[in-house]
Homo-oligomer: A and B are copies of this chain.
């Protein structure tokens, strides 16, 4: 029951950069991102993703492009911007450092 709560809080602030990491491998559209993140258990529902994408667009981290259907309904593809790439690099530094501290604490005194 509380495993969910733990996950939820852990995801805060990580999700944004996981999206950037995925986009750094190439453009993706909303549901495609949602599926990739769900498979990795990094989101619990699309309700987290779309508001996040909107924020990221406002902050200039991603650039949306509308692709009107070759088949199926139109999709909105997102590409990472230069600014987004920089932010991803910064995050990687911060994450690596923090994760090392947490790992050390969890392992306890040698």
Contact = CB atoms under 8 A, between A and B. Distances in A.
A41 to B, nearest CB: 7
B10 A6 contact: no
A50 interface: no
A98 B2 contact: no
A7 interface: yes
A13 B18 contact: no
Sorting the interface of chain A by its residue count into under 10, 10 to 19, 20 to 34 or 35 or more gives 35 or more
Contacts of A3: 90, 94
A74 interface: no
A82 to B, nearest CB: 15
Interface of A: 2-3, 6-14, 17-18, 21-22, 24-25, 40-42, 87, 90-92, 94-95, 97-99, 101-106, 108-109
